Structure 1
Amino acid sequence: MLKDKVAIVTGASSGIGYASARLFAQQGARVVVAARRKVELDALVSEIKKSGGQAIALAGDVRDEEHAKALVALAVSHFGGLDIAFNNAGSSGEMAPVPDLSVGGWRDTIDTNLTSAFLGAKYQVPAMIERGGGSILFTSSFVGNTVGFPGSSAYAAAKAGVVGLTKVLAAEFGAKGIRANAILPGGTDTPANHANAPGAPDGTREFIEGLHALKRLAQPEEIAQSALHLVSDASSFVTGVALLVDGGVSINRT
C-alpha cells in the first residue's frame, strides 16, 4: 500500500508509533523514525531492516524546531523526499484540576502535543509540495473532542487543537495535493496508558477497559491499521477528518 513512499513517524520508540512504523515499512515505505529514546529507535530500525525494509532513526525532542527541520532534511537527503508524515508523539502531561495545574505543566503539555504538531507540519508541507502532494496524519484523542475528563484540561485542549490544526491544513493545502487527517485512539495497550487513565488514580487496566463499549483496550497494531489506511491512497479522497478509533469509549456510558 505504501510502495516507494517515504514516511516520517514520530513517537516511534513504543506503542502506536512503533507498530505504525513497522507496518508502514512492511507495506513498502522507507521510514524515518523519531523519538527521544535512541536505544529503542535503533532496535526498531534493526527489526525493520531484518525484515527487508528500509529505515533510519533520528532521536530528539519533537518540541524542538531544529529537530522537526532535521527530520524532514533527513528524509529528503537519505530517501529522496517526503510523502507521508505521522505526527504521533505526545504525552498526557500533568493531570490536575485547573486551579491546581501548574503553568509549567500546562505549557509543557501544550508544547508536547500541539506545538510539536505545528512544527512538524511547518517543515513537512513544503517537502511534500516538492513531491506533488502527500499525506499528514496526527494523533489526537477522544479526550477534548468528544468527552472531557476531570484533570485533563491541558491534554484535552492540546488534542482539540490538533484537530483544529488538521482541518486548517486540509483547507490550506488540499489544492497542492496534500491531505491532512487526525486519528483519535481510545485506550491502547501500552505502559503509558496503563499509568495515566483519565479519572483513575490507580490506573487500573480494568477501569480503562470498562470505559470502552468493547470492554477492552486496543492493541497498538489495531490503531496502526487505521493509520495505514489514512496515509495510503486507499483514502485518497479523505481529508480534514478526525477519525475515532476508540472502541466506543466516546459513546459508552456504562
Structure 2
Amino acid sequence: MKYLRIGEPGLETPVVSHEGVHYDLSGLYSDIDGEFLGRGGVSSVAELPVIDIAGQRIAPPIAKPGAVVCIGMNYAAHCAESGLEPPAEPVVFYKHPNTIVGPGDDVQIPRGSTRTDWEVELGVVFAKPASYLESEKEALDCIAGLVVANDLSEREFQIERSGGQFSKGKACPTFTPLGPHLVTLDEIADVQDLRMWSKVNGEIRQNSTTADMIFSVAHIIFHMSQFMAFDAGDLLLTGTPEGVALSGRFPYLGAGDLVEVGIDGLGSTANPTVQA
C-alpha cells in the first residue's frame, strides 16, 4: 500500500493508493497518524470509495509525528566530504515535527542564512512502540513504511553556532519536506538497496544507494531502542550520502532555487525555495 494525504494545511484528507488507484479513507479514519498506523493501516481497498486527487495539494504523507529522530554521518563518503571520521555508533539529533512540509511546498531560506543545504534521506515511520528491542529482525517488524525526506540544514547554524549539537541548524521552519507517499514494506524488495538522488535546478547533486549506509536501517532502530522509546507514527531519518553543498563542490541554496530529492520506489519531492 501507499498512503498519502491531500488538501490544504489543516484540511488534509487521508488516501490510500493501490495499483495506481486512489481511495478515500476519510469515512473510516481521521488521518494517517500513529493511531491509524498502530492499528495496522488498511488491508483491503475493496469497499473504499475512489477519489480523484488531480489538482490537489499533496500534503506530507503522515500527520505530525510525536518525534523526528535523525541519524547523522551514516554514509562513509559523506563523512569524508565533511572532513570527519565515520562514527563508531549512530550519531543522533532531533528535528521539531513542525518542520515537516509537503513534497511540493515552499522551503524557506532562514533569515541570515548563507549556507542552507539539501540532504536526501530515507525516512522510516513506526507502526508500533519500539523500546529495548531484542534483535534487528524485531526492529524491522516495527516499521509501518518508508518515505522520502529532505533533511535541510543550515550549516553555519549547525556547525559554527551549534553549541555542540546539530539541531539548531536542522529545525528551521519548512526544513523537512516529506513525501509524496508512505510506502509499506511489502512494496520494497530490499531496504538496503534503494537508489537515492538529489537535484538543484535540474542538476544532479547526490546519486547513491542505501547500500552505502554505515549502519543499516534495522541496526539503527535496534540500537536506538536501547536509549529511547519510539511511538507509533514517529519518524526516523537515516542519514544522507555524499553530494551536499558542505562538500565545497556546489553552491548553497538561495531563494528562487528548486531542490528535488527522490528514492526509487518511494517517489520524490520538488520544493521551490523562498526567503523567510
**TM-score, normalised by the number of residues in structure 1:** 0.28
Q: Compare the two structures and name the one with the higher strand fraction.
A: 2
**TM-score, normalised by the number of residues in structure 2:** 0.26
Q: Which has the higher contact order (CA 8 A, sep 6+)?
A: 2
Q: Compare the two structures and name the one with the higher helix fraction.
A: 1
